[in-house]
Structures are given as structure tokens and as C-alpha cells.
Amino acid sequence: MAQTPHYQLFIDGTWCDGSDAQVMTSQNPATGQDWATFACASATDVDTAVSAARRALSDPKWRDMTQTARGKLLYRLAELIEQNATHIGEVETTDSGKLLAETASQTAYVGDYYRYYAGLADKIEGAVLPIDKPDLHVFTRAEPIGVVVAIVPWNAQMFLTATKLGPALAAGCTVVLKASEIAPAPMLEFARLIEKAGFPRGVVSVITGDAENCAIPLTRHPDVDRIAFTGGPETARHVVRNSAENFAVTTLELGGKSPILVFDDADLDGAANGLIAGNFGASGQSCVAGSRGLVHRSVLNDLINRIRDKMADVAIGDPLSSETHIGPLCTDAQVRNIEATLEKARQQGATIHMGGHRVDRPGNFFAPTLVECATRDTETLDIEMFGPVMSLLPFETEDQAIALANDSPFGLGSGIFTQNLARAHRVSSRLKAGICWINTYRAVSPIAPFGGYGQSGYGREAGLTAIQDYTRSKTVWINTSDQPMANPFVMR
């Protein structure tokens, strides 16, 4: 019988169990069976990790490392990630239930994010200012913001870590990475690569644990300078409140209920594929899931039929198998939430065209579900279910489609399917969302920033300017005159 893996914390370059010996168990969502245990950080361990990050910030091994040398470490980390992508993918799939085809390929692609920021590490520049006073040479320099807390969820953890850790390390910051207490194993595997890449001790620590013992003391810690959080709005509210204790600069990338607008001139095969990718990719466990399909009434029935035809041969099963298209959800709580929400939708007059039920096998499996909503008030149009549920609602006019799309407290992703270029520009400019995909969906790149409006958070990750969020600008004034500074009490 195979031994159950046990994952320790990685703090200040050392692997250790938590100081209070708290251990949690992780279940394999595909079987419902316990498969690994992991140590949980206490408030004492949090303090050790943050103190190590503060010390490393001033350690000449990191402080005096050239920007080019920091970039080389990130290049090395990118290589290690690519070399170990399959292994980390297998661990993530076992721990979270996501398809191996997705976890392994996403992990490999994450290497490009670290390469992108490796290349930017020695492009962080200051400027000489054309100051309006004589005999003064004034310039700015960008310095590391300090100790960063990066908090990532379980659903895309390697990707969401890269969008935080890459720019933070390139800027010269130190980082305490807090993995979700749900399915944290891949983050602790990733810590081995950080260690192997050769980052000095304390520059990166990787911990996990519950809210009371780990997350709260971490986000309140007085030595934390910046918090980069991805998760749900309710947890984010606690993070913001906690940051009032240390005035840490905070960015939030939160949930979504993203609309996909399908106009009557759209390529309906492409639109069906976009809706399928936006709703059933990652089994719907994506913050940018396009779970509000707004469809011109004249093409709604045709589109429903195309979606049903395309989903007819989709295989639900073992996420480690290359034959599987849809795997389990990460937790049973997600399944129960979907069941309750769909029951309410039925009572509200919604039509379930496919799915709508658990799959009859062990594990947290739920059938891909297509809901035609009778009215805007149907509950599936408002609740982020984090599962494979697509809701479609008809519209009549362009203005109505835009109004329905913006009728949400969220504003992370959006999609438009139309062959009218003028309409694409016109509608995209009016959507209240941080991302707008046109005739495609769920595309990402290290070059392209992303983030939300409203309850989808604030701040942007990825892209060129993200690295600036991990620096502070210092202005330096130098008197170039050979005369002493004038007496301020002698008026001339």
C-alpha cells in the first residue's frame, strides 16, 4: 500500500512542520478518499516567515544582487518549472481534480511568465527630472516595496502565483506565499523548485493553513508592505480590514459572473465553442467563467442545439486520463451549492436542457449543465457556482444586451461574438469588465494585464506595468553648487 504523502511548510529555507503540530488532510476529488496530509502554519510560524522575509530584504545576498542576476534566477526557475510540469500537474490533479491535460500544460506555460519578468528585472529604471530650480540635480529611483504577502486560491494556483511572484522577485521584494488550505500540495511541490533555483534564504517562504491561525496573522502582520490577494469577495473584505493594521498596499483579484454576448450575426459554431470553453473548461472552476450567456433571441434555439451536439460525446471521468474532458469539482460543498441553486432556478421557471445532476460515481462529479433562463431574475445568473453550469438568457437589442451584461456587481471577464467590427468596438467600450474577449475566450498571456471592476477587485496583474506595483519611487535631491546651503533664516 502506497504511503500517504505528507507536505511540510517551507519557511526561511527550511522544511518544517507547524509549531503547534496542526495537520490537515486533503481528499482526492475524483475518489473522495484521503490522499495526503499537510502541515499548517500557526501565528508563530507566520511571524517566523515574515521576519525571515524582512531580514532577507536587507541581506546583502539579496539586497545587493544586481537586477540582471535576479533575472537569471527567475530564468532558472522558469526552466525548473518546465522540467517538472508533468509532475506538478499530476500532484495538482490528484489534489484538486482538475484535468491533467490542463494542469500540466498550464504549469509549463507558467514558465513564460517567469521569463517575462526575468527579462524586465533589469529594465526597472528611474529618471532625471528637469527640475525648476538651479544647482539641484534631482532623480528618481524605483526600490522594492518590501515584504509581499501573496495569497492564491486552489483553482489556478501555479498561474496566479506567477502573476504575483514573478514581478515581486524581479523588483527585488521578498515574498511569503500563502497557499489555499484546499488542495495546497502543488504549491509545496513548487517550493522545492524555488529552493533548487538558488534564491537566498528567506526570500520566498511557502506556507498554508486556516484563517484564524495563518491568514489573519499574516495579513495583519506589521512587517508586511504589500498584499496581493486572489480569492472570493467575502474573504477579500477580511483582508482589506486586516490591512488597516499595517497599511499594506493591497490589490484584489476576485470572483466573477462574466457575460458572453452572442449577436445574431455571430459565427454560431465559434460562439458555441466559446461558451463551452468559458463554462466547462476547468469544469467551470474559473474566476473568468462566462457563466452568463446573453444570446440574441433569433439565434437562441440554434445555439442551444449546437451546444448540445458538441457536448454529446464529452467524457466525464478520471482527471488523470487523457481521454477525459470533464473531471470532478474540487469539493463536495460546490456540488451541493450547485444542486441548491439549480433547484431554485427550476422553481423560477428555468429549463434545464442538459445535465443538472450529480454523476453517478464516487467523487465530486457534476454533469455539464445548460440552463435556459425564463427571466433575468433566475438565480443562476447571479451566483458564482464554480462549476460546469451555463446559463443562457435572450435579448432583443444591442442596448439591452449591454444593460444585461452590466447588471452585475462583478466585472472581471466578458466576451462578444459578432462579425461586425464596428459593433465589437462599440460594445466592448461599454462593458464594465477588466477583460473583453472578442470571438474567443479564456486566452491569457504574460504580456496582457488582467483584473476586475466592482466586486471583482482592483489592481492589475501580468503585463508590463504590474512590476511597478512592487516598487516605490524614491526622489533624490543633490545640491551641485560649490557654495554651502543658504541660511534659511536669512531672507534675501
Express each pLDDT in 375-392 by its tens digit.
999 999 999 999 999 999
The pLDDT of residue 352 is: 97
Inside any domain, residue 52: yes
Q: Three-state SS string across 430-449, please? A: HCCCCCCEECCCCCCCCCCC
pLDDT band at 490 (very low <50, low <70, confident <90, very high): confident
pLDDT > 90? residue 415: yes
- Domain span at residue 181 reads 6-254+456-476
Express each pLDDT in 144-178 by its tens digit.
999 999 999 999 999 999 999 999 999 999 999 99
CA distance 390 to 371: 6
Look at phi and psi of residue 198 and say left if phi exceeds 0, alpha if psi is from -120 to 50, else beta: left
Same domain, 388 and 464: no
Domain CATH code at residue 333: 3.40.309.10
Same domain, 314 and 461: no
Same domain, 23 and 76: yes
Same domain, 283 and 384: yes
Same domain, 154 and 140: yes
Mean per-residue pLDDT over the chain, rounded: 96
Same domain, 188 and 322: no
16 in Cβ contact with 9 (< 8 Å): yes
Q: In one letter, which amino acid is 33?
A: Q
Same domain, 148 and 278: no
Task: Using CB atoms within 10 Å of the CB of residue 269, give its burial: 0 to 12 exposed, 13 to 18 middle, 19+ buried.
Answer: exposed
Same domain, 164 and 50: yes
Inside any domain, residue 50: yes
253 is catalytic: yes
CA distance 61 to 42: 28
Domain count, the chain: 2
pLDDT > 90? residue 51: yes
Domain CATH code at residue 120: 3.40.605.10
Catalytic residue among 90, 181, 189, 253: 253
Give the predicted TM-score (pTM) of the model.
0.95
Inside any domain, residue 489: no
